[in-house]
Amino acid sequence: MEKQEIRKYVLEKLQKMEHSSDKQVKQIHQNLYFNKIWYKSLVIGITMSKSPEISTKEIITEAWRMGKKVAIPKCNPTDKSMEFYIINSVDQTELSFYGVLEPIPDLCERLNPNQIDLLIVPGLAFNRNGYRIGFGGGYYDRFLSRYYGPTIALAYEWQTDLDFYEEIHDKKVDCILTEF
Ligand SMILES: Nc1ncnc2c1ncn2[C@@H]1O[C@H](COP(=O)(O)OP(=O)(O)O)[C@@H](O)[C@H]1O
Ligand SMILES: [Mg+2]
């Protein structure tokens, strides 16, 4: 299938299952908390999820509870780049252009990619080789070309073996955690 068709298919399916998937989302979160890299990492790069994506709010709260630092990206639509900033509370965020909560740069510390210990990469779909389809901006493909640390994606099992060809600029994630 074409990437665009897959985005549409996945978004529609996520919307339909949104209110019936709490148990699976909890299991995905638990599988992250049991992961050794999560456990060891002090600085977590993660996005603030937006419905109907798998929620990351609980993950951010858990990271803070464990004494980890949380960094979230600010997107620059002009060149489709991203920079991560540490946030200590949601008061340091604002709604962006895309409808996603982003850091308020004046209130936050900016990080270089190599200061992130673990990057949780959002994605709509993955193929068997671990390549991902995002929302179509290519933001993570660009960021991953200058980030060399570990990456984990969170997804329902059905999102992890969709059939598409990766393109030359697409980047892989190291590991996908599902509800199983
Ligand atoms: N490292 C990069 N440098 C320049 N352009 C890139 C890079 N990575 C992706 N792009 C561009 O971003 C656009 C969106 O990429 P795509 O892979 O379709 O989106 P997504 O990964 O968000 O699903 C494409 O036009 C692609 O050429
Ligand atoms: Mg891509």
Dihedral sign from CA coordinates of 171, 39, 160, 97: negative
pLDDT per residue over 31-56, tens digit each? 999 999 999 999 999 999 999 999 99
pLDDT, averaged across the chain: 97
| Pocket flag, ligand 1, residue 164 (CB < 6 Å) | no
A 10 A CB-CB count for 88 gives 12
Band of the pLDDT at 104, cuts 50, 70, 90? very high
pLDDT at residue 19, as a whole number: 81
Domain that holds residue 118: 3-177
4: part of which helix (H) or strand (E)?
Answer: helix 3-17
Note the residue count of the chain: 180
Contact in structure between 94 and 102 (CB atoms under 8 Å): yes
pLDDT at residue 98, as a whole number: 84
36 CA to centre of own chain: 18
| Pocket flag, ligand 1, residue 73 (CB < 6 Å) | no
| Pocket flag, ligand 1, residue 134 (CB < 6 Å) | yes
pLDDT at residue 179, as a whole number: 97
pLDDT per residue over 127-160, tens digit each? 999 999 999 999 999 999 999 999 999 999 999 9
pLDDT of 61 above 90: yes
> Percent of the chain at pLDDT above 70?
100
Cα 157 to ligand 2 centre (Å): 20
- Contacts of 102-106 with C-beta under 8 Å, sequence gap 24+, read 102/48, 102/72, 102/73, 102/74, 102/75, 103/72, 103/73, 103/74, 105/74
Q: Looking at the 3D structure of the chain, how many domains does it have?
A: 1
Band of the pLDDT at 20, cuts 50, 70, 90? confident
pLDDT at residue 107, as a whole number: 98
- CATH code, domain carrying 111: 3.40.50.10420
Q: Is 102 left (phi over 0), alpha (psi -120 to 50) or beta?
A: beta
Ligand 1: atom nearest CA of 134 is 23
Band of the pLDDT at 1, cuts 50, 70, 90? confident
